[in-house]
Structure 1
Amino acid sequence: MAAGKAESQYLHVLSAFLAMEPVDSVISLARECSGGSLTESVQRFLWETCVKAAASGNASYAKRLLKKLINEVELEKSEVLDEVYEEYALHMSAASKEDTLVKENIRITKFISFLFPEGLYKHPSCPSSRKLVVPLQCSLNMLEGDTGCSIWPSSLFLSEFVLSYPELFTDRSCFEVGSGVGLVGICLAHVKAKKVILTDGDLLTLSNMKLNLERNHLNYEDELLKQHGEAESTRVKCIHLPWETATDSELSEYRPDIVLGADVIYDPSCFPHLLRVLVALLRGPTKRDNGSLETERRSPAVAYVASVIRNADTFNAFLTLVDQMDLSITDLTEELKPPYELLPYMHSYDRSSVRLFSISSR
């Protein structure tokens, strides 16, 4: 049992490093592996398994971690491994080149590891290895005009939700508004949704999302492929969809069973456009040209929206518009919050700050 616990703790350290969690968090997790001290074995793991073998794809991050490790070990008045000093020196010598790249707002690769607890071997989402690792290219500076390529708390929450309740999504047609880096869509594909339609209004974000789908070995269909005569059998589809210009006729083609959105309740000027899109996607069966009813859906469509409520007035404005557009909204946070912490190593992710809502037509 003790060996299993130690193995799990080291896995948390590695997962935090690959996700590029704040270096303080990585060091804190490393301390838990040895009762609070940064022993030689812990240092060796950070150097050999994390920095040297795994490589985060961002030398600046590795350099910060090594510097923090050395400082913390020296504060303990313990011995720093020679290899750790040598690795830090190598990163220091390459620092000027890396700093130049950082200033150019490069994108980096984070590996998000969903770790399934023991006892979930038979859970439909649980891989045989008990972990699902999702590599994602994302923005280094989320607040520098590149927010669509950042990983936000609500997308982590919605991804945990999808993996925790696969029965809600398996064999269903799913449509995500504002898909960002594509994390939720990758999780939907993992639980075998029948069709996954990912959308974003920003072309650069959409291009980055497609790259992430490729990195996760998912084929996707987009407008360009379709123009070149590709078959429409691909399960994952990427669409450029600015909410303000999306037409009802365009949206009526999709008729998803489930609509998803992560952190889409933030800008009041976007609410009328977003809700018009939701109304069109959630609309019930419509008449065909011959007068018969379209009956492809097995049950009414529903939207699951995860959001951090950063401003009460903004959220109240959203609720007012929801009511005006004849939609129903229900807070499902307590009822359907993910029962398992699949990201236990991610100290920067505060699950309690995210709320989950269902939205449906009245």
Structure 2
Amino acid sequence: MEAREAAAEADGAVAEPDVLTDFQRWFFTMSRLKSFNWKFVENDLQRNKSSEIISEILKQTCLHPLCRSFPPSVRYRRLFLSELIRLEAAGCDPLDELYDALGEVVGEAEGSECYKSYFLPCGGAVSLLEKVALISEGTTGLVTWEAALYLAEWALDHREFFSDRTVLELGSGVGLTGVAICRSCRPRRFVFSDCHAAVLQALRDNVRLNGLDGRAAPAVSVRRLDWTTATEDELREVGADVVIAADVVYDPDVAHSLVELLRLVLTRSSPPPAVLVCCAVRNPQTYGGFRRQLESRGIQPEVLDGAVSHVFPYDRLSHMELIRLTAADGLQV
């Protein structure tokens, strides 16, 4: 092992333990296959004339206990194993366990759902049942989006912001951000919310899947919250110290309803909660409209700059903006 790592460093490659960790993280989040360091595997096979590296990758991915309980999609596993076979065939003798793994996945039927697992710095993973398609059952809320991952990373860097506080998440989707906060940041209470029936069911399933049943700290609940009809009484019942939302600004009509709800949140509590909204700015015009609506309703957005720790693998090309919202002095409903 030491000889292989020394050779890798001499070649300017990443040391093997890092490569294996990356393969595991990318595999369980179903990252694009071109993200993987296949060149390292190819070089290792040619240098050592041994399939040991393939065997180690299998142990960290398709043969890992997490894959038995929460497997990525059938198609994804099939493509992943096919790439390993392509490299192995060119570099060393056939590895029986590799072909056995492919034979097993070939016999599985493809479904509309799959699991994605996101490893946490504190140990363990957030495993979520998500839809394979980006849009399903009339909503985009059944998959994890980049802003949810970014906000979770920010939370992991600022755990004290959530510690021993009541947190309300708007538009929770399948639950990545909230589950990560519950598992790592010690909130006193966490309220997941959404309004789409299928999303709410997925949320309940994923909350239970990750052992957040409300019987142990933190106290966790999932509730329906419609931004167009939410009342002061509903918000008072939650009693949030912190309100968060990620990837919720994607449509001008939705943005208008969100702004009105945020105005209610900021003006009907004393002291008002801390409010964070994280957005992947895919459409500058839509996002700019959201910012203008905030300011026209007396809500001041403050951009929280600074890098976040890269905990989860995802496309970081999108421009992310995390803003903290406060009510202008003297703002009244």
If the length of structure 2 is used for normalisation, what is the TM-score? 0.83
Distance 1:195 1:77, change over 3 A: closer
Which residue does the alignment assign to 2:63?
Answer: 52
Change (3 A) 1:351 1:281: farther
Deviations 1:314-335 (A, max 9, x none): 112112211111100011133x
**Residue ranges of structure 2 left out of the alignment (5+ in a row):** 7-13, 329-333
Paired position in structure 2 for 1:318: 290
| Conserved 8 A contact 1:284-1:301 | no
Aligned residue in 2 for 1:140: 132
Q: Which residue of 2 aligns with 1:88?
A: 102
How far apart, in 1, do the equivalents of 2:157 and 2:218 lie?
25
Kindly provide the amino acid, as one letter, of the partner of residue 161 in structure 1.
Answer: W
Q: Pairwise CA RMSD of aligned residues?
A: 2.7
1:272, 1:321 within 8 Å by CA — same for their partners in 2?
yes
Of 223, 241, 261, which aligns to 1:239?
223
Secondary structure of 2:237 counterpart: coil
* 1:203–1:48 CA distance, 2 compared to 1 (3 A): same
Does structure 1 residue 189 correspond to structure 2 residue 200? no
Structure 2 CA distance, aligned partners of 1:214 and 1:171? 21
1:1-362 matched pairs, under 5 angstroms: 5-26=15-36, 28=37, 31-32=39-40, 37=45, 40-54=51-65, 55=67, 56-74=71-89, 76=90, 78-92=92-106, 94=107, 98-99=109-110, 101=111, 106-114=112-120, 116=121, 127=122, 131-144=123-136, 145-190=138-183, 191-220=185-214, 235-283=219-267, 285=269, 297=271, 300-334=272-306, 337-338=307-308, 340-343=309-312, 346=313, 348-350=314-316, 353-362=319-328
State the secondary structure of the residue aligned to 2:109.
helix
**Letter of the aligned partner of 1:354 in structure 2?**
M
Post-superposition Cα deviations, 1:169-218, rounded to whole Å, max 9, x if no partner, equal: 10122111000111111122221112211110111111111111111111
- 2: CA distance between counterparts of 1:70 and 1:241? 48
Check 1:35–1:201 CA distance in 2 against 1; reply closer, same or farther (3 A cut): same
Structure 1 residue 234 displacement after superposition: 6.9
Identity of aligned residues (%): 22
The alpha carbon displacement at 1:273 in A equals: 1.2
> For this pair of structures, how many residues does the alignment match?
308
Compared CA separation, residues 18 and 314, structure 1 to 2 (3 A): same
Structure 1: runs of 5+ lacking an equivalent: 117-126, 222-232, 286-294
Q: Deviations over 1:211-242 (max 9, x none)?
A: 11111111249xxxxxxxxxxx9711211012
